[in-house]
Amino acid sequence: MDFAFTEEQEMIRDTAAAFLAEVSSSEAVRRAMATESGYDSALWRRICDEMYWQAIHIPEAYGGLGLGYVELVAMMEQMGRYLLCSPYFSTVCLATNALLVAGNEDQKTRWLGELGAGQVTATLAFNGGSRSWAADSITASFRREGDEFVLNGDYRYVIDGHTAGLLVVAAREEGSSGEQGISLFLVPAQTAGVRRRWLPTLDQARKQAAVTLDNVRLDGTSLMGACGQAWPALGKVLDLAAIALAAEQVGGCQQLLDMTVEYTTERVQFNRPIASFQAVKHKAADMMLKTEVARSAVYYAACVADEALRGGELGAELPEAASVAKSYCSDAYFAVAGEALQLFGGVGFTWEYDVHLYFKRAKSSEHLLGDGSSHRERLAVTLLDQGRSS
Amino acid sequence: MKLSFSAEDEQFRAEVAGWLQDNLKGEFARLRYRGGPGDEHTYPEERKVWEQKLAEGGWTCVGWPKEYGGKGCSIEQQVIFFEEYARAGAPGRVGHIGEGLAGPTIIAFGTEAQKQKYLPGIVAGTELWCQGYSEPGAGSDLANVKTKARFDEVRGKWVLNGQKVWTSLAHESDYCFVIARTDPESVAHRGLGFFLVKMDQPGIEIRPIEQITGTSEFNEVFFDDAECDAGDIVGAPGDGWKVAMGLLGFERGVSTLGQQMQFQNELDDIVALARENGAADISDIRQRIARAHAELKIMRYNAMRMLSGHSVSDGSLQKEALIYKLFWASWHRSLGELAMDVMGPECEILEGAPYELSRLQAMYLFVRSDTIYGGTNQIQRNIIAERGLGMPKEPRPALK
């Protein structure tokens, strides 16, 4: 047992931190978030062509770097810390994971090749507009017509849905409900009948879209896995993505903590740095506690996710590890952001200081893929309901 | 990162579990799940016998170096030992202060003579220890110790006068390690000494403290010309604070994994009760149970990070170790409240008169001590902010 980063993993993390400190400055974030696409395409090209981050956990057989989920999580933590505006989460943590988990050999060869080469960005669309991020949130439907599938329906909260070149969409067989009848399809964004609309968001640094499918016709090569039986695979993808998102939340916590310590140490009132007041220190201590506990949750979940993708024994813990990490980190991030804003005082309330960017990200990432309460309820079902007659 | 244990370690796990299964029965069966924090007053005599039984099997001081009679186990094996010990429901260790605190301090700072005199009794489970730190005027401000130690040149002995408080297991112990002021003119952490004092002597009086639970595991200890030999000071006069602080490092050791297993037992009881009495259908209770479950899981991961860390050797605590006490103490206190709320109005009804508490009732009351002893939550937050975050100390007003 050795629950610490290897030297190689530390190097990946440090390289990411150094690069992002340079390219994802406050000014760069503010420029990108003011655009509809939400990212600087020249920077995204650099990330793809020079850093190969988009290929981090794609197996070498498909042209990727073949690294593990721990490395991906180390990367996400730094992106959360520097609020990188990019289609990374949607492309790598949603769509690439979907292909890794549910794609057949032909689909992986083609699309992982293109994604890994940075030729296309992608995302996952499934939620029809529900606070539940489980199977019942899928309202779009499909029916078979000969060899074709015809898809209809609406999706909301589609991360980077208006810019992605490839959509992985979930739809349910007409008349099905719950976890039954769900299929995943690969839909290039230019397919006839696909309509996409950018949704302006409170957290401007992550873009969302609404996607409508209007009699979208697909042939059998678009179907991922067996027809109508995609929920277990999709559930796994969502757990993997939740862990990556939790890592991003840890990075945000750390940055807020560092910013707060720096600011309160410089800010003088009553002839003292306000950081010397216990009322301030105790809040900062609670922020550090939440940050470190969140980090422990995420690193463990990363190890579980890694085994889930590679078929290891720990992989069976994936749903629990994802819910433990996402529930704790979501609540921790929002609490830390709230305390940071309070400790910055008046300037924390301004547009000029960066605190509000993190405060807004904390809330948006809390609700993305299920908030703390919903993940705790998922844990409660396992703990309290299984094997009990009510 | 690697989370699994080696095949060799798994074999060690089987060995520990097997020994406990073979030995924690018969006369010892009733000790299962007893004698932990909040329950230290139960079966003290039987638990002393159990301590010696453990020693016979070679299961005391597993983390100590072999040259001092320990088992020389790796960190992983120590983790496994404490986990299996708690999983088996083996009783609270009456020897834990000697094994976890006094012994490691003597090994680190003691003389050869002290090692030979004191370590074998700890390993054999025959000599028990207690800790003489806190005083009525030295709680959070631990360095404000007033107990005095004076060297009597004529008798060639140290003579101690003063009072200690919150001394757990004092009435069961053979020895106490005591910090006392060797320089009467000194203040704060300067001028202290660290003494190894025999409890059975005329100069020592022990008075139990009746706690919130109605039971007593803590005591007051009065020193009235109590004595120890010239050779029973660890380090030089004036080094006491350094030795005592070195000891605090040992307190955050691998036994935390065993403590977590005890927490898991308590949470399991609460879950079982909630499923039985319908509390499991209340959404607020569901959230709180799930939160307790999630955070206990993370507590384990955090401890694994602590134990895997590589920067402990210089004595500085990593960030995940600095927050650990505040985290588990606050978690455990909440668990006590959760237990009561799952019980509902039944939480008021005792097992019997005059004040016989159920396990969960006793837990609910006793966990209130967790956020106070060993550095209150407030002191922990100061330490985290000052050492972990480098925030400035509170300016101290001049006295008088």
Q: Give the residue from B195, B168, B174 showing the smallest Cα distance to B121.
A: B174
Interface contact A1, partner B, CB < 8 A: yes
Among the partner-chain residues A3, A383, A384, the one whose CB lies closest to the CB of B1 is A3
Please provide the average confidence, as pLDDT, over all residues in chain A: 97
Per-residue pLDDT tens for A97-151?
999 999 999 999 999 999 999 999 999 999 999 999 999 999 999 999 999 999 9
Give a yes or no: residue A389 inside a domain.
no
Question: What's the predicted TM-score (pTM) here?
Answer: 0.95
pLDDT digits (tens, 9 = 90+) for B246-297: 866 655 566 777 789 889 999 999 999 999 999 999 999 999 999 999 999 9
Q: Specify whether A91 is located in the same domain as A165.
A: no
Is the CB of A327 less than 8 angstroms away from the CB of B302? no
Domain membership flag for residue A327: yes
Rounded CA separation B376/B379 (Å): 5
User: Under an 8 A CB cutoff, do B298 and A293 touch?
Assistant: yes
A357 and A311 in one domain? Answer: yes
At A102, which helix (H) or strand (E)?
A: helix A97-102
Confidence check: pLDDT of B314 > 50: no
Q: What is the DSSP string of B125-160?
A: T-S-EEEE--BTTBSSSTT----EEEEETTTTEEEE
- Give the fold, CATH level 3, of B252-388: Butyryl-CoA Dehydrogenase, subunit A; domain 3 (1.20.140)
Most B CBs within 10 A among A255, A269, A296, hence the mutation to make, goes to A296
Show me where the domains of chain B are located.
7-94, 129-238, 252-388
Query: What count of CB pairs under 8 Å joins A to B?
Result: 166
Looking at the structure, tell me whether residues A254 and A364 fall in a common domain: yes
pLDDT over 70 at B310, yes or no: no
- B317 — pLDDT class (breaks 50, 70, 90): low
For residue A158, being part of any structural domain is answered with yes
pLDDT at B400 (0 to 100): 56
| Same domain flag for A250 and A175 | no
The CATH number of residue A58's host domain is: 1.10.540.10
Quick check: is A2 in a domain?
A: no
**Out of A88-97, A146-155, A314-323, B34-43, least confident range:** B34-43
Alpha-helical regions (H) of chain B: 7-23, 44-57, 75-87, 96-97, 103-109, 112-123, 240-251, 255-277, 283-308, 319-322, 324-343, 359-366, 377-383
Predicted confidence (pLDDT) per residue in A53-69, tens digit = 999 999 999 999 999 99
A360 and A243 within one domain: yes
Nearest to B124 by CA among B169, B70, B47, B43: B70
User: Do residues B242 and B66 touch, judged by C-beta distance below 8 A?
Assistant: no
Task: Kindly determine whether residue B326 and residue A275, on different chains, have CB atoms separated by under 8 Å.
Answer: no
Whether residues A244 and A378 fall in one domain: yes
The mean pLDDT of B32-55, rounded to a whole number, is: 90
Count of domains in chain A? 3
Instruction: Judge whether residue B316 has pLDDT over 60.
Output: no
Q: Tell the residue number behind the tokens 């790598």, with chain if given.
A: A92
Q: Considering A208, A224, A240, which residue would you say is the last residue of a domain?
A: A224
Q: What is the pLDDT of residue A380?
A: 98
The answer to whether position A350 is within a domain reads yes
- The CATH number given to whatever domain includes residue A316 is 1.20.140.10
Helices (H) and strands (E) counted in chain A, each on its own, are 13, 10
Q: Return all residues near A38 (Cβ < 8 A) that are at least 6 apart.
A: A32, A85, A160, A163, A204, A205, A206, A207
Q: Name the pLDDT band for B1 (thresholds 50, 70, 90).
A: confident
**B290 contacts in chain A (CB < 8 Å):** 327, 376-377, 379-380, 383
Portion of chain B with pLDDT greater than 70, in percent: 95
Render pLDDT for A181-233 as a digit per residue (tens, 0 to 9): 999 999 999 999 999 999 999 999 999 999 999 999 999 999 999 999 999 99
Residues A270-277: contacts with CB under 8 Å, at least 24 apart: A272/B392, A272/B395, A273/B392, A274/A343, A275/B385, A275/B391, A275/B392, A276/B391, A276/B392, A276/B393, A276/B394, A276/B395, A277/B394
Of A203, A224, A245, the domain-final residue: A224
Pick the CATH number of B7-94 from 1.10.540.10, 3.40.1010.20, 3.90.79.10, 1.10.10.10: 1.10.540.10
pLDDT of residue B308: 81
Domain match, A272 and A339 both: yes
How are beta strands B157-165 and B219-229 bridged, if at all?
antiparallel
Q: Confidence class of residue A318 from pLDDT cuts 50, 70 and 90? A: very high
CATH 2.60.120.10 fits B129-238, yes or no: no
Domain region containing A143: 123-224
Distance CA B78, CA B307 (A): 11
Q: Report the chain B residue with the minimal C-alpha distance to residue A272.
A: B395
Residue B251: active-site member:
yes
- Specify if A390 maps to a domain: no
Are A111 and A12 in the same domain?
A: yes
| pLDDT over threshold 50, residue B312 | no
Which one of A121, A152, A179 terminates a domain? A121
Does residue A9 carry a pLDDT above 60? yes
- Answer whether residue A1 is part of any domain: no
Tokens of A90: 């949607």
What CATH number did the domain enclosing A196 receive? Answer: 2.40.110.10
Are A257 and A324 in the same domain? yes
